[in-house]
Amino acid sequence: MEIAMSVREFDIAILGAGAAGLTAAHVAAETGASVIVVEKLSVGGQVSTIDEIKNFPGEADPIAGYEVGPQLLDEADEAGAEFILDEVESLNQVDGRWLIKCASEDISAHAVILATGSSRKRLGVVGEEELIGRGVSHCASCDGGFFRDKTVIVAGGGDSALDEATVLAGVVGNVVIVHHGDEPSATQGQQAALRATDNVEFCANSEIAEVVGDDKGVCGVILKHQMTGITTPHVAEGVFVYIGLKPNTEFLGAAFKLDDSGRCIVDDNLQTSCEGVFAAGDLRSGSAAMLVESVQDGKRAAAAASAYSEGKQ
């Protein structure tokens, strides 16, 4: 199979415009390589939903997550990287190059950096999908203001869930944290601070069985007790879901080796099981899903991909 004449060719293609992808684009473009970044939704990735980021490289003071994406984008753009909004459908090797088939166009590159990150896991219950954007959210700092003086449910008991519950507690009327087990898995400090907050309630050993809505949006949930199976209705105008992340690897073929969590297995140079394809950020096996680590991954992957691309020319 030959690459069609209409396919645009680059030295390096970066899939994903989160912290890892944008950093990689900046570093790779500065080497003089031709670089294109393909992003499905919006620049910044999961970092855009973080209320406050401390110790971000180059920033003495905390910075809001929604500021990081544009900052990294400007740096990559100034270095000469090109950007397109498109959805990657497949990635295959053709005639010694990597062919990226997107919804709108096809791209060919010597090297590819996978930086598609992760997406928030869904509850998978009745009413959830239909009510996303109408009361179901994954971003407290983005959407919390819509629920001022109202009751919201936070699904999840980990650090992220309680971080977002803390943000919501300062904005909404009441926060109900629905979590598995007797205690949330978040740090004791987080739990103690929220338990001391008047408008926060914990609902242990429970899960959301259904999200209930009307023509205005979310109007409540059905909670199910894990031990007894008993279900009870609970009035709420918003549902914020933080039950973990799933890697965005659906477009990868069987040649890519993944770990049990679905993340790409890489070597010391962040190269995947497929030569010339590197993985950075949340997508990488063993990633701690931390912003600073994603930035470092982006730099390392860019250096490795640039060296690989130069060797192919």
CB-based contacts of 232, cutoff 8 Å, min separation 6? 222, 223, 225
Buried b vs exposed e over 87-105: b needs ≥16 C-beta within 10 Å?
Answer: ebeebeeeeebbbbebeee
Q: Output the pLDDT for position 1.
A: 43
Report the pLDDT value the prediction gives residue 200, as an integer from 0 to 100. Answer: 98
Q: Could you report how far apart the first and last alpha carbons of the chain are, in Å?
A: 21
3-state secondary structure of 64: coil
Q: Is the dihedral of CA 129, 133, 135, 141 positive or negative?
A: positive
Q: Please state whether beta strands 277-279 and 106-114 pair in parallel, antiparallel, or not at all (unpaired).
A: parallel
Q: Tokens 């295959």 sit at which residue?
A: 92
pLDDT score at 41:
80
Domain 8-120+245-312 has CATH 3.40.50.10860: no
pLDDT per residue of the chain (313 residues) written in tens, 0 to 9: 444 447 999 999 999 999 999 999 999 999 999 999 999 887 777 677 666 777 677 777 777 777 788 889 999 999 999 999 999 999 999 999 999 999 999 999 999 999 999 888 999 999 999 999 999 999 898 899 999 999 999 999 999 999 999 999 999 999 999 999 999 999 999 999 999 999 999 999 999 999 999 999 999 999 999 999 999 999 999 999 999 889 999 999 899 999 999 999 999 999 999 999 999 999 999 988 788 899 999 999 999 999 999 988 7
The closest alpha carbon to 275, from 248, 311, 299, 300, belongs to: 311
What residues does each domain of the chain span?
8-120+245-312, 129-241
Report d(CA 112, CA 10) in Å as an integer.
10
Q: Give residue 71's pLDDT.
A: 87
Helix (H, G, I), strand (E, B) or coil at 303: helix
Tokens of 41: 């939704």
pLDDT score recorded for residue 312: 80
CA distance 118 to 245: 6
Report yes or no: 128 and 221 within 8 Å, Cβ to Cβ.
Answer: no
5 Cβ neighbours under 8 A, 6+ residues apart? none
pLDDT for 51 equals 66
Residue 280: the pLDDT is 97
pLDDT number for residue 245? 87
CATH superfamily of 129-241: FAD/NAD(P)-binding domain (3.50.50.60)
